[in-house]
Structure 1
Amino acid sequence: MPSTPLYRNQVLLLSQSFFIKDNRDELLLHAHKYDFDIAFFSELAEFVHAVEHSSANTLFVVDLDSLHNMQADMHDRRKMLLLGELLARLPADRSYVYLQSVRQGGRFLLQQRLVDSNCLAYAEKPIPNDVLVDKLFNLFVQKKRGDVVRLIFLGGAADVDGAALLRHRIELIRHDDVRTLHLRVKELQPDMVLIADVEFERTEAIGRVLKKDIEADPVREVILLLHQPNAELARRALAGGFDDVLLLTAPDLLHRQLVNRAGKIRVSKDLIGKDRATGLLNKVGLQKKAQEAIRQAGRDGRQLAFGIVDIDKFKTINDTWGHYFGDIVIKRLSLTLAQHIGDNDLLSRFGGEEFVLVFWDCTLEQGLQKLEAMRQAFCALPFEVKAGDVRHFSFSGGIAAYPDYKNQNELFLRADAMLYEAKQGGRNQIRCNPMEKSA
């Protein structure tokens, strides 16, 4: 059996009555595609023990209808477990997702009791499998610390505490010239741009200038910071491309507002830029990150290695053992690749069974060595296609280097050409011939 867990995240579910429209196998099938597993519990003591010994990548779900079938004391089976007793027994250092009936959901005092009792979220049932799994996946995304959110601020130094924001993984970059702000935004690609009212009054076109750039990030928020209430100024800002207006009543309130917005931006970026089955960057997410890496490499004089890998004979895998098994092969490959990725490297599920990797500060030869180590690790994984029948699979890869190839498109085309050579040469190998450009 592999030492690496098959699924990155896990749900612990306490439920004695089945609450979903479909069946348990269908629920698991949806969960596995979102890269998490579900462990079912019918006894409170076993559930509590599992919660206490769980990892950070775990959600805890409690079906409140289970109260009807549980006893407060195993020696007194006539006494039904009450909500207060259940909440008291759940470990207080965890947060829980509560599932309740429509009737329970109509009782406001019950909702109040839940949200005051380590409630991460609550949901009404019956709820279809795919809807429940999608909601749980979103909670997994929200639990992660996520990428650093970059904030460019045009305004007074005393308005925003950069050190406090950094503790919440928000990088503050100060800028002092409204007429060059659009150039700094183009260079650094921030997630938020905060502009003080006095700067906006100097150049009211700044919101439109930032928003109309064809390369503008749709997730980016342009926000006006008002030092005093000014409804007319706020109207002009919102009509001129700004996303929102914040009033500086107290520094700590502004700090909390920015932290909350950063959290929502992270969720939006994950939903747009990440593959749900593996949690890796998708094609959209890779494009933005790779462009940033190439710009940074150019500024810092660093090298990049750009690799593409593709599972060998994947259609045969799907046709022989089914698409569900094919999805498992993809997930296991994503975990294998991720184990060899550095903090500054990029890994993307580019589409289907194809993955793209960008190695930071890495020569072509070093990139080849890294991909070769990944290939050998994946080839060593055992896959039990049925009881007693263990198979091994492989992938082929191609690699190119920056600055030999200057942009993302050139790098991709060259690495893809090398991948084609690897496939044509017999598969299960990595190709990276030196640069060959026509004059």
Structure 2
Amino acid sequence: MNLPKMPMVYFVAPNAEHYQDIRTQLQLFGFDCQVFTRNSAILAAMHTQSPFAVVIDELGLAEMSGKQCVPLIGKLSKGPVIFLAEAHSVAEQIELMRAGVSDFLPKPFNSQQLIDRLDALQEQLRPDPFRVLIVDDSEAVARWTSSILTDAGMLVKRIQNPLEVLFQLERMKPDIILMDVYMPECSGDEIAKIIRQNTQYDSIPIVFLSTETHRGKQLMARSMGGDDFWVKNMEPEELVASVSITAERYRQLRRWMTRDSLTALLNHTHIIEELEQEVARAHQEFRMLSYAMVDIDHFKMVNDQHGHAVGDRVIKCLSRLLRGGMGKPNAVGRYGGEEFAVILSEQTLMRAAQKMDELRQSFSQLTQVGMGGDEFHSTISIGVAQLQDGMTAQQLIDAADRALYQAKAAGRNQVGLAH
């Protein structure tokens, strides 16, 4: 199997050795890195391989300053250009932006600041396509709507029988539901009311599509659980814009409802909900499932010695590593404090333990920076359990928790296995 290439980051700086540690840190978080100290080398590289981002130190290269490098690199770069500087006036920043700089980072900086910025830029440049569920008994109308939205880059599923909607909601997890009002089996407002009985779907917008123009009937349908009412056969551009605006607004709302504010991982409630759904699916489809509990070793000591701000950075550092290691945004959650939960779908106990041990080793290699600039390393203990026949989600959590306790009792910085 061919592994995906890591995003490449080019550094423009007078001294390559200074960036060696930063390069190592970036690689642990899934970014490749090259440092260039001469103008001819960076320009040749830009022509050969376009990087994900370019980071320019204000000290520049051996033959020119950072400011002098910006216009040339800005013209060649297809991605963000980040400028490192101790201080710049607003006028100087505007001048650099006009020359091609897109972001600024203060000096001295650490790798965590840069990784935070690169993560944010990746999310902006690679948004997940909107998932749209169309519920309409008219095959022709559903096909037309689906075609328009699919051509706009959305993932669309259409069903004619509204009684299948709960099954599709669980499988697809759409960003928006487009539903006909009048259908033979039942009305759209009746199905909307059923959907709203399930609190896990509260944040999914339901938009009615109908030829109904009577305002009173539209309001009645919305009172049953719908969020908006659009007239069928609107212009394609208007349909795409309306779906995009509504889906994006509710996606952001769901993010605030379901995510931990510090780490952007699923919060305690929603990682448990995700695990319950995975457990049910594993039992129904006879799939393997493992679950891990992760705890930062001696975290109180980190807060006491370095301060809570540094402790928060350590938590963010681990959360980013876990999220990147799993590849699925809903596979990792903040269980509470310095504890994290990881869902390992279709993984045996030993394979899951191996995966988590690789992440444990990677985390121990990361250099953390204290308030005074002092460097230190943190470690984690992990407990892993595999789902057994008849086991509930809570029993799986308890098994992983006992395995975590075993890892701590054995000296920490290791993986414990449930038996």
TM-score normalized by structure 2?
0.68
Tell me the equivalent position of 1:153: 134
Q: Which amino acid in 1 is paired with 2:134?
A: F
CA contact (8 A) 1:151 1:172 kept: yes
Tell me the equivalent position of 1:162: 146
2:245 counterpart of 1:260: yes
Q: Which amino acid in 2 is paired with 1:158?
A: A
Q: Which amino acid in 1 is paired with 2:139?
A: A
Q: How does 1:286-325 map to 2 (within 5 A)?
A: 286-325=271-310
2:237 counterpart of 1:235: no
Rounded Cα–Cα distance in structure 2 between residues aligned with 1:169 and 1:288: 29
Quote the offset at 1:47 in angstroms: 7.1
* 1:225–1:166 Cα change, 3 Å: same
Quote the offset at 1:251 in angstroms: 3.5
Deviations 1:235-262 (A, max 9, x none): 2212222111012222442233112222
Tell me the equivalent position of 1:334: 319
CA contact (8 A) 2:74 2:81 kept: no
Rounded Cα–Cα distance in structure 2 between residues aligned with 1:164 and 1:433: 50
Rounded Cα–Cα distance in structure 2 between residues aligned with 1:7 and 1:373: 11
The aligned length equals 348
Rounded Cα–Cα distance in structure 2 between residues aligned with 1:144 and 1:355: 28
CA contact (8 A) 2:332 2:342 kept: yes
SS of the residue corresponding to residue 382 of structure 2 reads strand
Q: 1:411 aligns with which of 389, 393, 396?
A: 396
Q: 1:89 aligns with which of 79, 82, 98?
A: 98
SS of the residue corresponding to residue 325 of structure 2 reads coil
Q: Which amino acid in 2 is paired with 1:307?
A: A
Range that drifts further, 280-289 or 306-315: 280-289
Quote the offset at 1:196 in angstroms: 1.2
2:401 counterpart of 1:420: no
SS of the residue corresponding to residue 348 of structure 1 reads strand
Quote the offset at 1:194 in angstroms: 1.7
Q: How does 1:244-393 map to 2 (within 5 A)?
A: 244-248=228-232, 249-343=234-328, 346-385=331-370, 390-393=375-378
Which structure has more relative contact order (CA 8 Å, sep 6+)? It is 1
TM-score normalized by structure 1?
0.65
2:180 counterpart of 1:196: yes
Quote the offset at 1:316 in angstroms: 0.7
* 1:288–1:388 Cα change, 3 Å: closer
CA contact (8 A) 2:25 2:366 kept: no
* 1:146–1:195 Cα change, 3 Å: same
Rounded Cα–Cα distance in structure 2 between residues aligned with 1:146 and 1:285: 22
Rounded Cα–Cα distance in structure 2 between residues aligned with 1:197 and 1:293: 32
Quote the offset at 1:418 in angstroms: 1.2
Quote the offset at 1:205 in angstroms: 2.5
Unaligned runs of 5+ in 1: 9-36, 60-64, 71-82, 98-135, 435-439
Quote the offset at 1:142 in angstroms: 7.7
Q: Which amino acid in 1 is paired with 2:246?
A: R
* 1:231–1:389 Cα change, 3 Å: closer
Deviations 1:83-107 (A, max 9, x none): 9xx699355xx9899xxxxxxxxxx
* 1:7–1:222 Cα change, 3 Å: farther
* Between structures 1 and 2, the one with greater strand share: 1
Q: How does 1:55-70 map to 2 (within 5 A)?
A: 55=79, 66-67=90-91
CA contact (8 A) 2:364 2:379 kept: yes
CA contact (8 A) 2:135 2:178 kept: yes
Rounded Cα–Cα distance in structure 2 between residues aligned with 1:402 and 1:264: 36
Q: Which amino acid in 1 is paired with 2:210?
A: L
* 1:201–1:335 Cα change, 3 Å: closer
CA contact (8 A) 1:405 1:411 kept: no
Rounded Cα–Cα distance in structure 1 between residues aligned with 2:222 and 2:260: 33
Q: How does 1:170-185 map to 2 (within 5 A)?
A: 170-182=154-166, 184-185=168-169
* 1:282–1:164 Cα change, 3 Å: farther
CA contact (8 A) 1:418 1:431 kept: yes
Deviations 1:378-425 (A, max 9, x none): 222233547785432211010111245634322222111211221122
Deviations 1:109-153 (A, max 9, x none): xxxxxxxxxxxxxxxxxxxxxxxxxxx9xx979836444543322
Tell me the equivalent position of 1:219: 203
* Between structures 1 and 2, the one with greater helix share: 2
Q: Which amino acid in 1 is paired with 2:393?
A: Q
After TM superposition, the runs of 4+ consecutive aligned structure 1 residues lying more than 6 A away are 43-52, 94-97, 139-142
Unaligned runs of 5+ in 2: 1-20, 30-54, 59-65, 84-88, 105-116
Rounded Cα–Cα distance in structure 2 between residues aligned with 1:57 and 1:215: 43
CA contact (8 A) 1:142 1:267 kept: no
CA contact (8 A) 1:399 1:432 kept: yes
SS of the residue corresponding to residue 309 of structure 1 reads strand
* 1:185–1:279 Cα change, 3 Å: closer
- Percent identity, aligned pairs only, is 24
Quote the offset at 1:307 in angstroms: 0.5
Q: Which amino acid in 2 is paired with 1:350?
A: Y
Q: Which amino acid in 1 is paired with 2:207?
A: I
* 1:55–1:287 Cα change, 3 Å: farther
Tell me the equivalent position of 1:4: 25
Q: Which amino acid in 2 is paired with 1:217?
A: Y
Quote the offset at 1:263 in angstroms: 1.8
